[in-house]
Structure formats: C-alpha cells, structure tokens
C-alpha cells in the first residue's frame, strides 16, 4: 500500500525536470550529421589600418582592352593578339578581365617569352554582373619596348558565354612576401617592394640593389609584410643621394601612421646612410604595410632607397 505513495512522491520531484529537458530539446536547433566547423572558433585577424594619405594604385599599371585586340575564333581554342608597348622593366601581376557563364575555362597569357596559365571561373551573367578580375600570376618584362601579347582560351571567348574585356599588368614585388626575423627585426629590402611608378623601379645590379630612377615625386613604393611578434619598432630608412640633389621631403607611411623626413645628401646615390625616423607600434599579429611617397623633388632625383628596417624596441627591466 506504500508503493503508490513513493511513486507519486518520486514523480512530483522528477517530472518538472524531465519536462524541462524535453522542452529544451524541442526548442533546440535541429541536429546534423555534418562534422563541426573546424574554423568556427577562430578569431578574426585584424586588418592593417588604411594610410593617412591617399595613394594612386593605378600608377604604373599597363592595360590592353579587347576592343583594341585582334580576335581569331577556333573550335578548340581562341586567340587574342595585341602589340603592347612597355615603358620600364620589372615584375607584374597579370590580371584578366572578363565575364563568363561557363563553369570553368582554361586561359593562357604570353608576353614575349613569358607565359602564365590559369582557369577562369564562372562569373554569373553578362548584363547583371560586373567584370571579374582574375589574377593569373606573374610575368617579368626584361626591358622597355614593344612585345607581342597573346591570350589563348579553351573555347570561343568573344561571346555568347565568355567575353574577354582586357588584361592589366599591375606592378608586383620582385621577391616573395616579407616576414619577421628570429630576433624580431623586419628588413624591407628594395626587391620586396611593389613600385607604383612610371620611372622609379627596382635596380637589380649588385652594386645598386635598390629603388632608383626616382625622378618623379608621383612615383611611390609599398611593402606588405607579416608580423609574428607585435610590439614597438624603431624605424630607419637606408637612403642615398648625390650631391646637389638633397632636400626633397618624403613621407613614410606605416598603416595609419605618417613619418616625414628630408632626404640627406650622401655623396652619391649608392652611398648609403641610415636615417632614423622614430618609433611605431605594430599592435597585432598579421599583415602590415609600409609605403614611401615623395612630397616634392628638389633635384634631378629624389633619392635611392636600399631598404627600410624596423627594429624591436626592448622594454628596459625595472
């Protein structure tokens, strides 16, 4: 006779808990047989802040448009031809501009003896989609002059499913991305800079190995680099300047910080002197940017630059 009372007492205690659990399960998101997202808990990587000064990123870019080329269709490939005049040597990103309703199409660009290949993905439609810019890789232009330029595609590329719009050659660094050294120092050598310029460029001769021909104050250079150990860094620019050409004012931009200096004469454009500009804080791990932009030119050329060096500032022990 005591058993029903015990059962009733048990249910009076446990039932609210059981019903609450059932309510939570009913309101929970539906289960899935998909594995958990391995990147779900990754923190968003901070981006470097924009420069305090507006810079012309189109400077030094060379382009050809489809309307200026010669198009020859084919059953297995199509061929576009241009003659491109180049004003300076250097390494360039090759960027194909197009629209496509096809899933994927093979493309190849040949400039002189240099070739890059890639696949052009679908962009959607033609009327309701802006043209897509596909970075295919790098090409090196050894010297100024006229070069035959060819674009081969794996099918008809003048409509109706694929339309070529043009090709851009955008200044690119002549070495791979720069990282932080084991001692925390960051050395940004001239070879690692992208030169947005018409005259200034990287000079590869061993006795130079610098950014030279800086005869226009509109030409500028940029380094993109990774920081693995954030902190404060002392900035120095290794520059050279021939007699009678000093005094130009130059801005060095690091993310949203600006440091201005006057170019010092060193007795020769490859007679190097390290000029200290101050201290900057690079507060987060990841990508950062440095640019050098002349503000004026007082002589035949602004200067030559061998490198920019960021040296860690060690906190003194209390």
- Choosing from 171, 197, 219, the residue where a domain stops is 171
CA atoms of 191 and 263, how far apart (whole Å)? 21
CA atoms of 274 and 202, how far apart (whole Å)? 19
Average pLDDT over residues 216-238: 97
Tokens matching residue 15? 């039932």
Query: What does the pLDDT look like over 105-119, one tens digit per residue?
Result: 899 999 999 999 999
Tokens matching residue 299? 């002589």
Domains in the chain, number: 2
Q: How many degrees, rounded to 5, is the angle at CA 60 between CA 58 and CA 64?
A: 80
Note the pLDDT of residue 317.
43
Mean pLDDT score of the chain, rounded to an integer? 87
Domain extent for 270: 186-312
Q: How many degrees, rounded to 5, is the angle at CA 111 between CA 104 and CA 113?
A: 110
**Segment (H or E) for 81:** strand 78-86
| Whether residue 191 is found in the same domain as residue 302 | yes
| Whether residue 203 is found in the same domain as residue 308 | yes
pLDDT class of 2 with cuts at 50, 70, 90: very low
CATH of the domain at 229: 2.60.120.260
Domain-located, residue 275: yes
């Amino acid at each position: 006779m005591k058993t029903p009372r015990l059962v009733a007492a048990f249910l009076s205690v446990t039932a609210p808990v059981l019903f609450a659990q059932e309510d939570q399960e009913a309101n929970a998101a539906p289960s899935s047989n998909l594995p958990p997202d391995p990147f779900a808990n990754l923190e968003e990587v901070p981006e470097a802040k924009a420069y305090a000064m507006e810079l012309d990123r189109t400077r030094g870019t060379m382009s050809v448009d489809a309307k200026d080329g010669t198009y020859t269709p084919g059953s297995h490939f199509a061929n576009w031809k241009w003659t491109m005049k180049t004003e300076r040597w250097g390494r360039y990103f090759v960027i194909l501009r197009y629209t496509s309703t096809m899933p994927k199409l093979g493309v190849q660009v040949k400039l002189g003896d240099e070739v890059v290949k890639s696949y052009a993905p679908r962009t959607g439609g033609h009327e309701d989609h802006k043209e897509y810019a596909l970075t295919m890789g790098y090409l090196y232009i050894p010297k100024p002059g006229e070069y035959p330029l060819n674009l081969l595609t794996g099918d008809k590329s003048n409509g109706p499913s694929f339309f070529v719009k043009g090709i851009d050659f955008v200044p690119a660094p002549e070495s791979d991305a720069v990282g932080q050294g084991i001692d925390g120092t960051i050395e940004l050598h001239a070879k690692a800079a992208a030169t947005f310029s018409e005259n200034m460029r990287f000079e590869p001769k061993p006795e130079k190995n610098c950014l030279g021909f800086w005869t226009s104050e509109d030409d500028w250079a940029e380094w993109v680099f990774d920081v693995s150990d954030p902190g404060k860094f002392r900035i120095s620019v290794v520059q050279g300047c021939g007699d009678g050409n000093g005094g130009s004012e130059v801005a060095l931009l690091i993310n949203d910080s600006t440091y201005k200096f006057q170019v010092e004469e060193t007795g020769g454009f490859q007679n190097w002197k390290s000029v200290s500009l101050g201290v900057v804080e690079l507060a987060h791990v990841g990508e950062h940017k440095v640019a050098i932009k002349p503000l004026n030119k007082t002589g035949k050329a602004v200067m030559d630059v061998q490198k920019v060096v960021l040296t860690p500032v060690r906190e003194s022990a209390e």
